Structure 1
Amino acid sequence: MAAQYEYLDAQLFAKIANLKLVARLVVEGLIAGLHKSPYRGFSVEFSEYRKYCAGDDLKSLDWKVFAKSDRYYIKTFEEETNLKCHLVLDTSNSMGFGADGRLTKFQYACYSAAAMAYLMIRQQDAVGLVGFDRTIHTYLVPKSSPLHLRDILTTLERMKPSSETNISSTFHQLAERIKRRGLIIVFSDLLDDPEAMITGLAHFRHKKHEVVVFHILDDSEIDFPYDDLLDFEDMETGRRLQVHARLLRDQVRHKVGAFLRDVQGRCAEHAIDYVRLRTSVPIHLALISYLSKRSRLG
């Protein structure tokens, strides 16, 4: 695979390559409740049409297409894998924040999503990609073919943080759109109304999906290390506010801490796997830590 893709990090992929067994254990644990026998046999589903070539099985010819076009086309099918995973990526403006030369939250999310897609396709699980802000703007159907990783990387590269977010609404839309139970992995800073957001996540659980939330934050959002008089701008609404950072530091840290505890607690209530990621932590270490912990928990 060529290296021109922005989020194809060869070093990152190499560092997580040995996680295949660990990732397999994680997947087995995550989908244990989805099917009584999740690894027994397989089924096939229609993938696409292609032109007939000499030697193709005539049973696969679509005669209805021939009747309409006077051309021979073959129906191709793809094995339906044990797991279908949707990587759900927040592309709202707030995800574009990054301080002190670190990756932005959006870049961190993209690299993480690319790494998870690599792991899953490597173990022949189907993975899809969803991009959202105020609504769902990108949807790649889950597939397990190696070429699908290229499509995911290309799509990630085209995505840019923009617009405000409406996490709850988009989660409700997506929960109704995905028909088959599977795994939902969310990459977001979760900067929205906690009550409505959790309701949206709970909708996935109501539909019997397993849900993992990667809560991605910049260190400065948690630690608020500022001292001076600063101008802050809301990256989604454009509103500006001048504050004396030192006077507000304790208050901000307290509120952020309360928000994080609230979100984590509500996720636990709905059996949603919550993982907080700081953008200062190398991505491979963050993923190794999570996957290793999850495999031990089963």
Structure 2
Amino acid sequence: METQRKYLQPEVVSKLANMELRARLVVEGFITGLHKSPYHGFSVEFAEHRQYMPGDEIRRVDWRVYGKTDRFYVKQFEEETNLKSYIILDTSASMKFTSTVTSQKKQQISKMEYASFIAASLSYLMIQQRDAVGLTLFDSIVRTTIPPHATKQHLRRILVELEKVSPGDVTNSATALHQLAERISRRGLVIVLSDLFDDPDKVMAALKHFRHNNHEVLVMQILDPVERNFAFGSDAVFKDVETGEMLTTQPYHIQKAYQEAMKDFIERYKRECRENSIDYILLDTTTPFDVALLNYLNKRQRIG
């Protein structure tokens, strides 16, 4: 069990050969650990079933599942299970940032790598559940869109796209998200993976656009640990990855002010998402992947 669970650790997954292997092992590690979670009893094998309810036809009871769980489940028809999910991945230049843990001299993975691993794992899990999933990549504009489908061939297409993802232009999250809110016609679950490094007023207006169009929304804000705590040592040179501007300073002079500003930045997104019935989760590039998958699963079960 512990062998499989190790694949929930970002530093382990980053060393694997390809995106398909990463996605499969992350999901297998996730499922292995679910018996310790509030979702005890869930497995990909039973994702196409729901519990028997009065009025259901007896002939739809799956007796094989009953033998394993001692509970009555009915097999769902495809149209009952086919949620459409839209994974929207920020590929702007700020997402390529990665830091080194000073105490360990250990290189982190970039925010973009981390986000792409989550996107791959979610896609794998969704298609195992027979849910349709699509993928969109954006920076200042929408760059790539793969419409939702629920086939294994479609999953491979998504994983190939994630395998070759690379940092793009400066960010303009709000404009790109508004474009997508207009394009996505069928109601579904919108999952945004981004550092949200843009004007919060504009980003929230775009996220509310999805809600106005009756979509469920799950936002995963992804940061590097150093972006959260500003844990630098002596003199440091900072480079804006989107503009190229350079700044030399002594970090300890501005650390407290930075930490307070970042805390306010994060808390604002948390608060405004909550006020607008948007699910929000903060992740950094060291957070085990099961945290993201559990939040998705919780959202999925509430949607029904």
| TMscore range, shorter length | 0.7 to 0.9
Alignment CA distance shift 1:291-1:6 (3 Å) = closer
User: Which residue of 1 is the match for residue 21 of structure 2?
Assistant: 8
- Distance in 2 (alpha carbons) for counterparts of 1:271 and 1:133: 25
Q: Alpha-carbon deviation of 1:81? A: 5.5
Q: Which stretch shows the higher mean deviation, 267-276 or 286-295?
A: 286-295
User: Which residue of 1 is the match for residue 243 of structure 2?
Assistant: 237
- Distance in 2 (alpha carbons) for counterparts of 1:126 and 1:296: 15
Q: What's the CA shift string for 1:152-210, capped at 9, x where partnerless?
A: 10001121012101111011100010110000000000000000010011100010000
Structure 1, unmatched stretches of 5+, are 29-38, 44-79
Alignment CA distance shift 1:297-1:148 (3 Å) = closer
1:290 aligns with 2:295: yes
User: Which residue of 1 is the match for residue 189 of structure 2?
Assistant: 183
Q: What's the CA shift string for 1:221-270, capped at 9, x where partnerless?
A: 01111131111111111111111101111000000001000111111111
Q: Which has the larger radius of gyration?
A: 1
Alignment CA distance shift 1:207-1:97 (3 Å) = same
2:215 paired residue among 206, 209, 212: 209
Q: How does 1:132-171 map to 2 (within 5 A)?
A: 132-171=138-177
Alignment CA distance shift 1:167-1:242 (3 Å) = same
Alignment CA distance shift 1:265-1:221 (3 Å) = same
Q: Is the 8 A contact 2:115 2:222 kept in 1?
A: yes
1:21 aligns with 2:42: yes
Alignment CA distance shift 1:14-1:127 (3 Å) = same
Q: Is the 8 A contact 2:20 2:156 kept in 1?
A: no
Q: Alpha-carbon deviation of 1:6? A: 3.5
Q: Give, as a single letter, the amino acid of the residue that structure 2 aligns with 1:5.
A: N
Q: Alpha-carbon deviation of 1:291? A: 4.6
Alignment CA distance shift 1:174-1:149 (3 Å) = same
Query: Which SS does the other structure have where 1:8 is aligned?
Result: helix
1:110 paired residue among 103, 113, 116: 116
Alignment CA distance shift 1:126-1:291 (3 Å) = closer
Alignment CA distance shift 1:132-1:261 (3 Å) = same
- Distance in 2 (alpha carbons) for counterparts of 1:248 and 1:7: 42
Q: Which stretch shows the higher mean deviation, 267-276 or 288-297?
A: 288-297
Q: Alpha-carbon deviation of 1:14? A: 1.7
Q: Report runs of 4+ in structure 1 exceeding 4 Å deviation.
A: 22-25, 39-43, 291-298
1:259 paired residue among 258, 265, 285: 265
Q: Is the 8 A contact 1:108 1:279 kept in 2?
A: yes
Q: What's the CA shift string for 1:68-96, capped at 9, x where partnerless?
A: xxxxxxxxxxxx95311010000001100
- TM-score scaled by length of structure 1: 0.76
Structure 2, unmatched stretches of 5+, are 1-15, 35-40, 51-74, 101-106
The Cα RMSD (Å) is: 2.6
- Distance in 1 (alpha carbons) for counterparts of 2:84 and 2:135: 11
- Distance in 2 (alpha carbons) for counterparts of 1:125 and 1:11: 19
1:218 aligns with 2:224: yes
- Distance in 1 (alpha carbons) for counterparts of 2:187 and 2:298: 24
1:172 paired residue among 168, 173, 178: 178
Alignment CA distance shift 1:42-1:280 (3 Å) = closer
Query: Which SS does the other structure have where 1:21 is aligned?
Result: coil
Q: Is the 8 A contact 1:7 1:156 kept in 2?
A: no
